Amino acid sequence: MRTRFVAMTFAACLPAALLAQKRGGGVMADAADPAAAAGPSAKNMPSSRDLVRMNPAALLIDKRKKLALPDSVVKQLKAVQKKIDDRNDPLMAQYDSIHKWTMPLASSSSGSAMSPGFSDADKSRAAPTPSAAEQAKMQSSMRDLRNLVADFRERRKTDVADALALVPDAQKQAATDLLTQQDADLDKLVGGRP
pLDDT band (50, 70, 90) for residue 105: low
User: Average of pLDDT values for 23-40?
Assistant: 41
The pTM of the full predicted model, rounded to 2 decimals, is 0.63
CA dihedral in degrees (49, 55, 58, 60; nearest 10)? 140
Q: Kindly report, residue by residue over 118-158, the tens digit of the pLDDT.
A: 565 555 555 567 678 777 777 877 888 888 888 999 999 99
Spatial contact of 159 and 56, defined as CB atoms under 8 Å apart: yes
Which residue in 82, 88, 54 sits closest to 160, CA to CA?
Answer: 54
Q: Kindly report, residue by residue over 80-99, the tens digit of the pLDDT.
A: 999 999 999 998 888 887 77
Highest mean pLDDT among 16-30, 72-86, 140-154: 72-86
